Structure 1
Amino acid sequence: MPHIIYVHGFNSSEFSFKSQQIKARLEALGKSEQFSCPRLPWQPHKAVILLEQKIEELLALKQTVALIGSSLGGFYSAYLSAKYDLKAVLVNPAVEAPTLLRDYLGIQTNPYTFEQYELAEEHMWELEALDRPVCAAKNLWLMLQEEDEVLNYRAALERFPEVARLTCEPGGDHSFIDFERFIDDILRFVGFKVDL
């Protein structure tokens, strides 16, 4: 049975809506200890180090690890999936993060934690160091909604032309509307036995 790490997005936190939905479902299944959603530092390099430490701790305990990443968390999850050969569900992933986040350079305030910080060009270089991982198609489920107002969904299709499972829906938005429809299937994809 895997341990799921939910990797939240840019200016999000462990209280992101999708992470709370997954956490609640695992609690209902009596599997709450198989879930974590660490609060990530805003600096990409530090965020990835934190995630790598968590993954390596779990692997050292002979745990299987799976990732669910949304937006920038999907960008990080793809890199980590490639590095550690992990199953990963990428939800509206920010595959062009080093380019996209240049629009946010300057002072930021996280709406969840109210932390203020300054996003700088050096952080784009940190993202570039994580870009274009070579992921095993068998490990990936790519989830996209075409009316994502933040990202161009076609970029993810081009970046990951072969995946184990693809969900690409018309409409929707960057949050992935009605995500909860897929939670049990996601749990099955990463290795849980979920009764119908």
Structure 2
Amino acid sequence: MPTNALTNPLVLPILGLLTEGPLHGYGLYTALRDRYENLSVRRSTVYTLLDRLAEAGWVDLSEEPPPCPFTITTGGSRALADGVARQIVEAPLGPSEPFLTAVAYLGILAPDQASDLLRRRLELTRDRIARLEQALATRPVRELHMLEVHYLVSTLHCDADWLEGTTHRIDDGDLPWPPPAEANPN
């Protein structure tokens, strides 16, 4: 499997769903469709990805009678954790689908790593806010012609508030976290 396999928007959700428990292909397809309404999910794509993930050693196919469930492997858990960490920092700022998917599986990371990554995203968000506010302040353009930028700044402020609050909750132990064995199965 190519090293950029986690760039497929369905791979992280598939691995994440398998951390919750074994599922057969159609069960994964149904869960993806139900939980990730913004993602384009086709059954054939799910089965193709499962084959590739199995070839890479990220998932195993059970020996049970059909329909055989898939389980995540240690390598798959590592790939999920790496993908979550990468997307927390690298996903487009604002409420992007890659960021929301990564947040959904934040619990696969250790609390201190999750907090550090959210703090890094908070810094990036604040930097973007500062640049946008500076641009608004120095350009003599009517607000009406820059409404989209004002909207983006407002949205980014909300994101920064959420990131800061969630980071504090993790650091203070106020956000329940799964035990390490549960967070990193297999």
TM-score after normalising by structure 1: 0.28
Higher alpha-carbon Rg:
2
- Indicate the structure with greater helix content: 2
TM-score after normalising by structure 2: 0.29
